[in-house]
A = this chain, B = another copy of it.
Amino acid sequence: MQTSERAHRRTAYFVSDRTGITCEMLGHSLLTQFEGVRFAEITKPFIDSIDKAKALVHEINQAAEQDGARALVFCTLVNAEIEEALIGANALVIDCFQFFIAILEQELGLGSARVVGRSHSADNLGDYHHRIEAVNFALSHDDGISTRDLDEADIVLVGVSRSGKTPTCLYMALQYGIRTANYPLVAEDFQRNALPPQLHNLRRKLYGLTIQPERLQVVRNERRPGSRYSTLANCQFEVRAAEALMRQEGVPYIDTTRKSIEEIAATILHDTRLVRHVY
């Protein structure tokens, strides 16, 4: 391996005494801001003893030697002794909490609990139940498979097949405890030029997803290669008809073509002002 290559490789560790999800997400977000470095990202949850921290230091040091550059360690460790053990590693250790906790303690005039695992835990069973119920609701109301209790949905996504409805529904249910349903728009709806009858009383809860026909064709063709369903002509027809129908019926909609699940969900939640729970 050449020196110039080695200098541009770094191993980043996301280390936590609990799930590591917060520092993994923050660290990953930060690293996406740096081009020209290849980051190997490794999450190390449940580092909750000094022995585990010492074993991790050993692993970090090996990675640093291989990379020819010290590692990056993003951590959310509440126990100071465990963090001290880490500081001995050949790494830049960045505590993702400390800086903010100090500012907040001063602002609020309160000491922080300094207790591990407050976030991403199942401490509050009521909250947790709400979330699981939202996931179950999304599953049992996916793709129009059941219209039972459909009026209990917080939101009902509509759109042509493969426009992104299912992953978006699951994401909103899992991340935010929102009761989502989704209903496909199909050929007979376009022929009748009307929304499916099952949705007539839910108009205020409807939100549409659309997608560029060229992208839709690629996605559908992977699923059912060479079918009529996957032709560009059919994709163009369906998308045009679905958009016309949604406009006619006053259903707001967004183009999902270049959007991630997070972006679609954030846009919908923002537009509809649905209340999100953060878990």
Residue A76 lies at the interface, judged by CB distance under 8 Å to chain B:
yes
Q: Indicate with 1 or 0, residue by residue over A25-53, a CB within 8 angstroms of chain B CB atoms.
A: 11011111111110001011110000000
Number of copies: 2
Q: Is A170 a contact of B166 with CB atoms below 8 Å?
A: no
**Cα–Cα distance between A26 and B96 once the two chains are bound (Å):** 9
Q: Is B120 a contact of A92 with CB atoms below 8 Å?
A: no
Q: Is A132 a contact of B266 with CB atoms below 8 Å?
A: no
Query: Which residues of A in the span 110-147 have a Cβ within 8 Å of any Cβ on B?
Result: 110, 112-115, 117-122, 128, 131-132, 135-136, 139, 142
Q: Is A132 a contact of B167 with CB atoms below 8 Å?
A: yes
Residues of B within 8 A of A33 (CB): 97, 101, 104, 112-115, 118
Residues of B within 8 A of A41 (CB): 278
Residue A59 lies at the interface, judged by CB distance under 8 Å to chain B:
no
Interface residues on A, range: 35 or more
Q: Is A279 a contact of B267 with CB atoms below 8 Å?
A: no
Q: A19's closest neighbor in chain B, by CB?
A: B266
- A interface residue numbers (CB < 8 A to B): 10, 18-22, 24-26, 28-37, 41, 43-46, 72, 76, 92, 94, 96-97, 99-101, 103-104, 107-108, 110, 112-115, 117-122, 128, 131-132, 135-136, 139, 142, 166-167, 170-171, 174, 258-263, 265-267, 269-270, 276, 278-279
